[in-house]
Structure 1
Amino acid sequence: MTTVAEFIERNREQLIERYAEEASRTESARGLTQHELIDTFPEYLSTLANISRQGHRGDPVKTKTRLEETHISQRVRLGFNQEEVTGEYVVMGRLISALWEALPLQEQPSPEDTQLLFEELRGAMDQVVATFSGYTADDRQREKRFLRRLDALSSEVIGNSERSIPLHERLGALLEVVQEAMRAEGAGLLLADPSGKLLIPTMYTGRWRERFETEPVPVDSPSFLAELARSEEPLALADAVSAGPAVAEGIRRSGLRSLLGLRLWPHGKLLGVLYIGVSEIRPFEPQARRYLETLVEYLSGIIEKALLLQQLRQTNERLRKSETLYRLATEAISDVIWDWNLQTDTVAWSGAVEKLFGHAREELSGHISGWYDAIHPEDRERIVHGIHAAIASGEQRWRNEYRFLHRDGSYVYVIDHGLIERDASGKAVRMVGAMQDITARKAASEALRASEDRLRLAVRAADLGTWDFNPVTGVLRWDERCRALFGLTQEAEVSYDTFLEGIHPEDRERTHAAVQRALQLGSGGDYDSEFRPLWRKDPGEHWLRSTGRAVFEGGRAVRFIGTVQDISDRKRRHSEAQHRAEFAEQLIGIVSHDLRNPLNAITLSVAALMRQEDLSDRQAKGLARISASTERATRMIRDLLDFTRVRLGGGIPIERRSLDLHALCGQVAEEVRLAHPDREVEVVRSGQGMGEWDGDRLAQVLTNLMNNALAYSPQGSPVRVETRGEDGAVLLRVHNGGIPISPELLPHLFEPMRRGSHAGDGASRSIGLGLFIVDNIVRAHGGTVKVRSTEAEGTTFTVRLPRRAP
């Protein structure tokens, strides 16, 4: 392991050159000669190397101190500032450590050696700070001792709300520590009143133990103390005796001459002023001013915290006095009362929370998050944002409605309102509110609104007519729309007999019977009837649907109300759908019997002819074309039949039986190879292939996917078919290369009558039902089919088939 000394000595010239380059960049180094830039650095490097070998002892240490004093004094004469000189020692450390930082750990100096180097450089920088500021390491140690004493006293003053000592009992001791630390003979403290406009004499120590200022000092007065309150820096008064009215007469007679003071200014607000006095007339050193700033800043924090604690005790006392009244008030009302401490974010609940919502007080009391969690998730953001907006905007009250969690897991509607309490500065410190259960009222309001909405939608959106019949008096009322639907004018008289006379004779008796059933006690009162009106003049057959309900009192129907709707279009659509279904059934019969039979005859005849041995090549090719065309027509018919079944809602029927998908795939692939002898079909299988499927239907899936792959891939490229057994399912993948499926077509690929741009000839074209049939067969087995197609990967169809029925 190489030492720091060895690195310095091996790279001495390089270090000197780099140091001169870095040192020349500071503003104060401009115009210096090379000799002035380097100064004592070469000899300083040798000293650091000696310390690396011998440790921090002996002549190298003395030499190092001498070189540092010489270098710092020279830099002071040349006009360098403190930051520039300390920066030179930082550069030294960076240049030296850079010699090994990129080397392996075993080739670097030991951690102890490196630590010693940086301790020496840090000591040099401490010397720079002491030279420029006059604040030595001894001064810092002395400062720490007195800060510890202040800290010990602050623990007694602040402590906690139950065991802390009042500030006024320890304020004198705190001020004596400051007086002793500053080596003064007297110290005084004046605190600002709440308005910040007056300084109130508070505590004096030493030769000022007797309070010389008895009256408040205005901050805007010309006195020395007022100047302290307005100044950001410590102020000194050379001779208090000759200061005249600027200093209180008692201070001038105390025998203390020179004064030094500073304001207490925590968080940008005047807290007071503190000043000290000494008996001789003398200026105060810069380090004394800095020392006073540190002590006063620390003392400000102690006093501020103690005053806040005192205010808190007073507030707690007021709260304790009002607790009895508050408890009695919350018990006297049925609403849930809550009390939110905005400073600690804790909430307390009244006992009514258990009666109304089932929660024990202890379950919800605690952090505000418990309340937030009980608000319905759909209302939470709105309520939390609204309540915090009211707090932040300076409002005094907040009110809102939302859903609150009951202990049984349900939600109840509540109306909640709170009063926000603020301190003298306007900051919100507390919020007290009352929560009332309005679930029943809300439900009644919602029911009424929903009923009105339904009626309005029924009349306006559904184009309904309304009627109102009194079975006791026989009076019947129709609105304008109801009259128009029956073909009556607005002036025409209507009655129950008029209603029956306006119905087609074939529908009249049935409609009258439906009305009578609804008016019978025990029927439930519901009425629903469809009929044809007679008086409509517009062309075409018209149908109306009338629905209503009877209201019973004293065992008889006293009111019968309802609506009328024109359902002519629905009736026509239903009739057309029936015609289409009948046509589809006829088409299935034609295709399955009248077309398949001749195709079967053609297939058998071609097969017989092809078995003849004396066929010429031309005859054989002609028969092969006939066979292929017949097979294509058969496939089209089969696809049309399957398509018709799906469209009629019956789906594709399957018959499950035990089957090895590996074997079936191999069989279908062989048949495809025979039909395409010039193409390569590669079959790969793995895992267990057994399951319960419809073999004929899966053969249809395999044939469609393989033929598609051959049709949409380059002539000389192979098609890969893979079957792979997995837990509970078997995967089938069919892959081909070539131009990918367009992104616009991919989402619609399994819809009927969809085809890509075919690469083959016209004889191989399909009617676009193959993938639609594939998808329906796979879904009938409880499986899925997906496709992925890219330029780089080609096109892959992936079918997943569960081994058993779902």
Structure 2
Amino acid sequence: MTTVAEFIERNREQLIERYVAEVGTWEPARGLGPYELTDTFPEYLSTLAAISRQGHRGDPVKTKSRLEGTHISLRMRVGFNQEEVTDEYVLMGRLISGLWEGLPLEQQPAQEDTRLLFEELQDAMGQVIVSFSGYSQEDRQREKRFLHRLNTLASEVMGDGEHFLPLHERLEPLLEVVREAMRAQGIALLLASPDGRTLLPTMYTGQWNMRTETEPIAVDGPGFVARLAASEEPLELPDAAGAGHAVSEGVRLSGLHSLLGVRLWPHGKLLGVLYLGVAEIRPFEPQARRYLETLVEYLSGIIQKALLLQQLQQANERLRRSETLHRLATAAISDAVWEWNLQTDTLAWSGGVQTLFGRTPEQLGGHISGWYDHIHPEDRERVVHGIHETIAGGGQRWRDEYRYLHGDGGYVHVIDHGLIERDASGKAVRMVGAMQDITARKSASEALRASEDRLRLAVRAAELGTWDFNPVTGLLRWDERCKALFGLPLEPEVTYEGFLAAIHPEDRDRAHAAVQLALQPASGGEYDIEFRPVGHKGRAVRWVRAIGRAYFEGGRAVRFIGTAQDISERKHQQQESQKRAEFAEQLIGIVSHDLRNPLNAITLSVAALMRQEELGERQAKGLARISAATERATRLIHDLLDFTRARLGGGIPIERKPLDLHTHCRQVVEEVRLAHPDREVEVVRSGEGRGEWDGDRLAQVITNLVNNALAYSPPGTPVRVETRGVDGTVLLGVHNEGRPIPPELLPHLFEPMTRGRPGGDTASRSIGLGLFIVANIVHAHGGTIDVHSEAATGTTFTVRLPRLASSSGK
């Protein structure tokens, strides 16, 4: 007796052909291609055959459910209704059962086998009903809207077929549509390598705007990404932050928690994986999983087509590079393109010559003499001599500017440049070039010069001096105000050497270097410098600020103009402010240093009095208050001394010794806990914690950061302290909940006299040097300190310490 599986496998192609032919006549299927009509039907036939062999259990059942979900989603996307999708499964049953209809009973499948087939098809129709009833009109319209946006962007991803761009530079808009559609905060896409063994980090958007994975991931690996590549169904990860090595460090630390991903699987071959992340920890609805599958299915087709087009573009690019004429014409700026055969002196023009110069190529003639004759008589000898000298001298490029006769009888200004092609012996055989009409640019330059008188009136009202330097001729012009700023006489002209001589010797080389830099095209021509002139003898030091811009033609500076302004008063005010600040810092250092001796005496005296047995309760409390106040004053003085060392002494000194930061951190936190018995401070560690650091200084860092976290977090909330070894670095992190640090304060948080934010424990406030000293201790170790503060995630200070001192470190 033949099984249903055998009938399906023997007649597979016939079933597909009949299915496509009949479904193709339905109203919603009009306009669909064969592949869209076929959809998942071939794979679905294989699954039905597998169920016929082994019954309703195992992987075929899961595969069947996935294929049904995919098929239903795709049919809904193209406009099928519930009845039409149900009719497809009725059609499948009719086509399959028709294979044995009319055969003798002994040649038909067993009744149990036939019953199982129709049960599976009935189950599929039930899933159709559930899908349509649970997928609202609003959901369908939303899905169509975003699929339409993907379709619109697809042409941009494909490119124009001419200009090659790597695929990863064109995917971001598509992924942003998916991220918006799924209401996610981050999207990651990894594409399979050509051999299919690894997944290559390709594009990250949203909160993952940097790569979350930095290395290729093996397809057969244990992590979340590898599991996606092997799964037929979408996969969820409830909380990435606690997933350990299942996800990359970038994902764990990104602030996104719940992940949902699916593989890209067009035509039964792994193309890649895509996963998204959201900030909150939550499950994903069935509609979201189905929605992501639909979007990714559509995205897969776009990416696969783009990859094929990219291969074609790369092949075309290799072909274009092999064509000499194309290379030369592209290298020359293409306006009116010409080609000169140096063997025969024939000259061919592009059609652009008529647009630019009012003459057809035929009117100019086919010989080089036709070009000579149209050059302005005053320019002709120079231009012709220059181009032949370049050819004879072995040059590769030629460029010149001249006047050329237009068809209306007048002359236009042109820039002409060309590339010379030589044979194996070095002989010039061909020249290809292009001419540009720059008449409008010349007119604009004249208009600019005509407006200079008005500009001079404006700068005179602002008490600005003006200067104009021609780098080609070396001519320098200063107005009266500019000469007065330098204390120079008004009559004689100023040379560039005279300008340098009028600058203070200590500023002269710096001013000259700034001018030379501005005259280089790569600098953009910007010039802005402050210096002291020496022309005002017997008077207080004067300061001048010069601002200017250089203008270029053909990569060469042809004009350099600007203004000069007296800024002496502002500079003197800045110097006075600097002196006052330095005096205040020195005063802080002196006072804090001299206060240590009396405080030490107070501390010793209080300790001696506390040892007396006849002290009353009132006396003991008074001494305790004195002791606490003395300790606080001592801490303030230590902070002031460290501040003075950091600002005036070249940095805080450290003494490196072997140390286990894990153990050291736990000991320091235990001491902090004694002062805060009502607060929870959690200490976690991972990796290798050994290195060479100054233990006492790091104790200051840990104590300050933990005390800050306790002071600025709500009572009853925990503080988390983490030490983690990563390769040559150990990380120290201190996290607390509560209100975030104001964004405008973050850039100044490690500056002296700065506090985190209003509020917190007022008794624990300092003078605002704690974080400044912490940052200087970390920098003295060659490390870094960062802070991240948001309402949703709290505040985290992260210190990165190299295990060993660098060759240039302390």
Superposition TM-score tier, normalisation by shorter sequence: 0.3 to 0.5
Output the TM-score relative to the length of structure 2.
0.36
Give me the TM-score of the superposition, normalised by structure 1. Answer: 0.37
Larger radius of gyration: 1
